[in-house]
C-alpha cells in the first residue's frame, strides 16, 4: 500500500481533530505534515540528532535542527511559512499525529528518500493548497514523459553538463526531482555515456541544473528538502555534512515577481511544468496578471495561459524546450481564441498529445501535453497523438493504463523514426562529401 491508497478521509479526520486545537485547518495541516517530514528525516538518519525528541516541543527541536542544516531549509524555522512556531499544539493531540505517521504506509515505500509520499501527503492534507493554489501533484510517470521531450533533447543539444531546467510552478517538486535524477544519470540512448551518475560530482551537477519556483513557501521548502535529502542519501551522509552547494528553489509568484533571480530571462534550456489551470479568484491578482500578459490573458482566462507565455517568452533560452501538462479548456472556450490564433503560431510546436483519456489521479480536468521550442516555427511537421477513447476502467496502476501506455509507445516509435531519418540524412551527406568530383 502507498500513500495514494490511504483514504483521503483519514487525512481529513485528523486535520479536523488537530484544527480543534490549533484553531484553523491551515495550521493543522502543516503541524501534521511537519510531523511526517521530521519523521522522514530521522528515519533516514539525515539529521544530526541521535533520536527523535518526543512531543510537540520535540518536533520544534527537529525542525530547528533541520533548518540549520542548509540555507535552503531555513524556511522550516520561519513562522510565516510554518505556523507551528506561533500556533502551539497540545501533547494529547500530538499523540494522534505521531500515531498517524507511525502507521503511515507512504513513508515506507521505495521512493522514500525522494520524498514522493511527502509531496502526495501535503496535497491530501492541505485544502488551502489544493483549492487556493491548485496544487495537484504531477505523477512521476507524466514527469518522465515531459522530460523525455524537453530536458533530454536539451541535454543532447547543449550538453548533459550544461543544460538548465526550470519548473516555475514546482509544487512539492515531483518534476524537479525527476529532472534531478535525469541530469544525475544522463540517458544512454544512442551514444556512450560520458558522465558518471554517481558520486559528489554527479549530485552537484544535478543540483546546479534544476530549478523550482512556487507561490507556496511550504511546498517550495519541501522541494528543497527533497533535493537535499536525496543528495545526502545518495552520498550516504547527513544533511549537515553536505557541501554548501546552492539549491535553486524559491518561493515567489512566477508570473509577477520580475525581481526573483531564479526567474531571469533566457536562462533555461528546458521549461517543464504542470501549471495551475484555475482562474485567479482574487480580482486584484486577476487584473495584475491580465495587465502583465495581455497577449494571452483575455476574458475569464485560465492561469495556464500566462504560464505558457512566461515560459516561451521569458524563461526559455532561444530555441529552448517548453513542455507542459495543461488543461485543454483553451481549445473549447472563448479565452483560448487569442492564444490559439495569435500567440501559439509564433512558436515552434513540436508535440501535441491528447491526454484527456488518460487516468491521472486527482486531475479532474481533461488535459493535453504541449511541447514547443522558443523560436519561430521550423519545418512543416508537428507530431500529434490523437486520443480516440479513454481508459475502459480505472487502472490499478495508472502508469500502466492502456491509454497512457499507448501514448508512451507512440512517442517512442516516433522518436526512433526521427533518429533513423537523422542518421540516414547524416550518412547521405557524408557520402556526398566523400564522392569524387568530376
Ligand atoms: C498543478 S500544481 C503543480 C504540481 C507540481 N508539478 C508537483 O508535482 O508538485 C500547480 C502549482 O502551481 C503553483 N502556483 C499557482 N500560481 C502560481 C504562481 N503565480 N507562481 C508560482 N506558482 C504558482 C501552486 O502553488 C501549485 O503548487
User: Is residue 349 included in any domain, yes or no?
Assistant: yes
Residue 193 predicted with pLDDT over 70: no
Residue 130: DSSP 8-state: I
Residue 400 grid coordinates = 500502466
Residue 301 predicted with pLDDT over 80: yes
More confidently predicted of 227 and 130: 227
**Phi and psi angles of residue 266, each rounded to the nearest 5 degrees, phi first:** 70, 20
Do residues 30 and 58 share a domain?
A: yes
CA of 122 to the centre of ligand 1 (A): 13
Atom of ligand 1 nearest to the CA of 213: 21
Residue 169 predicted with pLDDT over 70: yes
Atom of ligand 1 nearest to the CA of 167: 6
Give the list of residues 6+ apart from residue 85 with CB closer than 8 angstroms, or none. 60, 77, 78, 79
pLDDT at 423: 86
pLDDT at 4: 47
Burial 331-349 (b: 16+ CB within 10 A, else e): eeeebbebbeeebbeebbb
Do residues 214 and 345 share a domain?
A: yes
CA of 147 to the centre of ligand 1 (A): 17
CA of 171 to the centre of ligand 1 (A): 5
Do residues 108 and 135 share a domain?
A: no
Give the DSSP letter string of 366-422.
-EEEEEEESSS--SS--EEE------SS--SSGGG-HHHHHHHHHHHHHHHHHHHHH
Q: CA–CA separation, 314 vs 312, rounded Å?
A: 6
- Under the banding of pLDDT at 50, 70 and 90, the label for residue 3 is very low
User: Is residue 427 included in any domain, yes or no?
Assistant: no
Domain termination residue (choose one: 94, 125, 156) = 125
Residue 365 grid coordinates = 480536468
- Once rounded to an integer, what is the mean pLDDT over residues 199-226? 96
- Under the banding of pLDDT at 50, 70 and 90, the label for residue 195 is low
CA of 276 to the centre of ligand 1 (A): 6
Atom of ligand 1 nearest to the CA of 174: 8
Do residues 112 and 144 share a domain?
A: no
Do residues 210 and 112 share a domain?
A: no
Q: Which candidate, 31, 25, 32, 26, places its Cα nearest to that of 6?
A: 32
Residue 1 predicted with pLDDT over 50: no
- Once rounded to an integer, what is the mean pLDDT over residues 382-401? 91
Hey, whose CA ends up nearest to atom 12 of ligand 1?
169
Q: Which candidate, 308, 311, 306, 304, places its Cα nearest to that of 292?
A: 306
Mutation test residue for ligand 1: of 135, 140, 258, the one with most atoms within 8 Å of CB: 135
Hey, whose CA ends up nearest to atom 27 of ligand 1?
171
CA of 11 to the centre of ligand 1 (A): 21
Do residues 383 and 257 share a domain?
A: yes
Atom of ligand 1 nearest to the CA of 171: 27
Q: CA–CA separation, 84 vs 86, rounded Å?
A: 6
Residue 184 grid coordinates = 544525475
Atom of ligand 1 nearest to the CA of 173: 9
Atom of ligand 1 nearest to the CA of 277: 1
Residue 68 predicted with pLDDT over 50: yes
- Under the banding of pLDDT at 50, 70 and 90, the label for residue 357 is very high
Do residues 96 and 148 share a domain?
A: no
| 171 conformational bin, left if phi > 0, alpha if psi -120 to 50, beta if neither | left
pLDDT at 430: 77
Angle, to 10 degrees, between the axis of helix 402-434 and the axis of helix 140-148? 20
Q: CA–CA separation, 220 vs 224, rounded Å?
A: 6
- Once rounded to an integer, what is the mean pLDDT over residues 28-51? 92
Residue 377 predicted with pLDDT over 90: yes
Give the CATH number of the domain where residue 357 resides: 3.40.50.150
Strands 210-214 and 165-167: parallel
Do residues 94 and 223 share a domain?
A: no
CA of 51 to the centre of ligand 1 (A): 34
| Distances in whole angstroms, Cα of residue 342 to Cα of each of 15, 294, 380, 413 | 46, 12, 18, 32
Number of helices (H) and strands (E) in the chain: give both, helices first: 16, 8
**Integer distance in angstroms from the first to the last C-alpha of the chain?**
72
Contact 227/221 with Cβ under 8 angstroms?
Answer: no
Residue 433 predicted with pLDDT over 70: yes
pLDDT per residue over 76-119, tens digit each?
A: 999 999 999 999 999 999 999 999 998 776 665 555 688 888 99
CA of 429 to the centre of ligand 1 (A): 46
Q: CA–CA separation, 318 vs 373, rounded Å?
A: 8
Residue 167 predicted with pLDDT over 70: yes
Lowest-confidence segment of 67-81, 169-183, 423-437 by average pLDDT = 423-437
Q: CA–CA separation, 59 vs 12, rounded Å?
A: 21
- Under the banding of pLDDT at 50, 70 and 90, the label for residue 363 is confident
Angle, to 10 degrees, between the axis of helix 8-22 and the axis of helix 116-125? 60
**Phi and psi angles of residue 194, each rounded to the nearest 5 degrees, phi first:** -100, -15
CA of 286 to the centre of ligand 1 (A): 16
Q: Mean pLDDT in the chain?
A: 91
Residue 437: DSSP 8-state: P
CA of 133 to the centre of ligand 1 (A): 7
- Once rounded to an integer, what is the mean pLDDT over residues 251-269? 97
Q: Supply the range of the domain harboring residue 110.
A: 1-125
Q: In what order do the strands lie in the sheet with 210-214?
A: 248-251, 210-214, 165-167, 268-273, 316-327, 367-373, 348-354, 383-385
Hey, whose CA ends up nearest to atom 5 of ligand 1?
171
Do residues 139 and 227 share a domain?
A: yes
User: Is residue 438 included in any domain, yes or no?
Assistant: no
Do residues 144 and 258 share a domain?
A: yes
Give the list of residues 6+ apart from residue 53 with CB closer than 8 angstroms, or none. 59, 61, 62
Atom of ligand 1 nearest to the CA of 289: 19
- Under the banding of pLDDT at 50, 70 and 90, the label for residue 319 is very high
Residue 264 predicted with pLDDT over 80: yes
Do residues 242 and 371 share a domain?
A: yes
Do residues 100 and 141 share a domain?
A: no
- Once rounded to an integer, what is the mean pLDDT over residues 408-422? 92
Domain termination residue (choose one: 373, 391, 409) = 391
CA of 138 to the centre of ligand 1 (A): 10
Share of the chain above pLDDT 70, in %: 94
Q: How many domains does the chain have?
A: 2
Task: Give the residues surrounding ligand 1 with Cβ less than 6 Å away.
Answer: 119, 133-138, 169-175, 213-216, 219, 253-255, 274, 276, 303
Amino acid at each position: 500500500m502507498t500513500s495514494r491508497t490511504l483514504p483521503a478521509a483519514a487525512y481529513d479526520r485528523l486535520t479536523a481533530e488537530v484544527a480543534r486545537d490549533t484553531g484553523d485547518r491551515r495550521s493543522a495541516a502543516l503541524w501534521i505534515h511537519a510531523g511526517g517530514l521530521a519523521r522522514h528525516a530521522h528515519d533516514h538518519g539525515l539529521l544530526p540528532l541521535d533520536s527523535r525528541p518526543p512531543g510537540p516541543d520535540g518536533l520544534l527541536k527537529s525542525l530547528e535542527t533541520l533548518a540549520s542544516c542548509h540555507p535552503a531549509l531555513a524556511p522550516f524555522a520561519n513562522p510565516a511559512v510554518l505556523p507551528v512556531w506561533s500556533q502551539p499544539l497540545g501533547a494529547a493531540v500530538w499523540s494522534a499525529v505521531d500515531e498517524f505517521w507511525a502507521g503511515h504506509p507512504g513513508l515506507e515505500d521505495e521512493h522514500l528518500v525522494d520524498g514522493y509520499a511527502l509531496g502526495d501527503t501535503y496535497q491530501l492534507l492541505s485544502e488551502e493548497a489544493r483549492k487556493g493554489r491548485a496544487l495537484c501533484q504531477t505523477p512521476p510517470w507524466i514527469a518522465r514523459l515531459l522530460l523525455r521531450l524537453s530536458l533530454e533533447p536539451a541535454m543532447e543539444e547543449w550538453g548533459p553538463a550544461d543544460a538548465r531546467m526550470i519548473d516555475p510552478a514546482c509544487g512539492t517538486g515531483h518534476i524537479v526531482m525527476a529532472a534531478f535524477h535525469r541530469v544525475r544519470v544522463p540517458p544512454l540512448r544512442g551514444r556512450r555515456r560520458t558522465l558518471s551518475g554517481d558520486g559528489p560530482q554527479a549530485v552537484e551537477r544535478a543540483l546546479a541544473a534544476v530549478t523550482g519556483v512556487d507561490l507556496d513557501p511550504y511546498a517550495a521548502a519541501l522541494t528543497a528538502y527533497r533535493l537535499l535529502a536525496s543528495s545526502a542519501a545518495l552520498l550516504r551522509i547527513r544533511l549537515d555534512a553536505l557541501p554548501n552547494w546552492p539549491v535553486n528553489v524559491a518561493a515567489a509568484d512566477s508570473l509577477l515577481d520580475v525581481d526573483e533571480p531564479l526567474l531571469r530571462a533566457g536562462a533555461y534550456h528546458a521549461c517543464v511544468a504542470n501549471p495551475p489551470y484555475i482562474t485567479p479568484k482574487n480580482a486584484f491578482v486577476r487584473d495584475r496578471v491580465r495587465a502583465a500578459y495581455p497577449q494571452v490573458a483575455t476574458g475569464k482566462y485560465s492561469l495556464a495561459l500566462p504560464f505558457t507565455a512566461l515560459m516561451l517568452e521569458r524563461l526559455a533560452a532561444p530555441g529552448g524546450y517548453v513542455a507542459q501538462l495543461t488543461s485543454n479548456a483553451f481549445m473549447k472556450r472563448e479565452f483560448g481564441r487569442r492564444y490559439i490564433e495569435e500567440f501559439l503560431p509564433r512558436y515552434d510546436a513540436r508535440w501535441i498529445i491528447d491526454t484527456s483519456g488518460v487516468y491521472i489521479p486527482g486531475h479532474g480536468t481533461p488535459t493535453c501535453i504541449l511541447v514547443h521550442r522558443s523560436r519561430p516555427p521550423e519545418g512543416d511537421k508537428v507530431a500529434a497523438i490523437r486520443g480516440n477513447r479513454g481508459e475502459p476502467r480505472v487502472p490499478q496502476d495508472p502508469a500502466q493504463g492502456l491509454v497512457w501506455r499507448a501514448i508512451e509507445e507512440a512517442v517512442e516509435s516516433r522518436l526512433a523514426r526521427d533518429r533513423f531519418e537523422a542518421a540516414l540524412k547524416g550518412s547521405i551527406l557524408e557520402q556526398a562529401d566523400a564522392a569524387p568530383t568530376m
